[in-house]
Amino acid sequence: MDAFSAKRYGCRDSALTSSSSAASKSHKESERRRRHRINAHLSTLRSLLPKRVKPDKASLLAEAVDHLRQLKKQAGLNGAEPWCLIPGESDEATVSCCGGGDGKKKMMRLSVCCDDRPGLNGDLSQAIRSVRARAVRAEMVTVGGRTKSVVTVEAEAGDNGGGWEEEDVRILRRALTAVMMNRDSGSGLGHVVRGNKRARVS
């Protein structure tokens, strides 16, 4: 191998080593963030449990499962549906019916899970107003830079007598999707950013 070839292969090896080092560093940083987020979730879970448990993860998860089973049983007896407010890793926006009939105003339950950001609550309020609805109950939990909001809304009295039209539900879903995917600013509810593979809408 002549001197030129040796130099060329030496540069290639150096570039490969540098690329491998950068990839390893990126992987370590991603793993560090993942562990930090998991520990934050576990800390929140520990604070939500009524009983004091051992510090190890196995005892914590076992107690959490037992507590959730009790809550589910109680919710079934009360005719309620259990809702988990701890934000997950995936972006999600859902709209579902949760009452109405027998002379009562129809209710909708909205759920948005995404990265926390300034202006998020304002955007959510704007989405609700876009269908002339008002919030009657709201719950929100933020953990490790992720936030989940669950809001129960009712339609204001109008031409439809305080009910929901299919178009209202479609508009609301689009607005919630814009809220979920607009990460950088508090504006932009008029469009939905595409390309986020983690997002789910229902």
* Tens-digit pLDDT profile for residues 49-79: 777 778 788 888 888 888 878 877 765 555 4
Low-confidence ranges of the chain (pLDDT < 70): 1-18, 74-84, 99-105, 157-163, 183-202
Q: What is the pTM of this model?
A: 0.51
Q: At 107, is the secondary structure helix, strand, or coil? A: strand
**CATH classification for the domain delimited by 83-201, as one of 3.40.50.2000, 3.30.70.890, 1.20.840.10, 3.30.70.260:** 3.30.70.260
Beta bridge partner(s), residue 149: 112, 140
What are the residue boundaries of the structural domains of the chain, listed by start? 3-69, 83-201
Range 35-45 burial, b when 16+ CB lie within 10 A, else e: eebeeebeebb
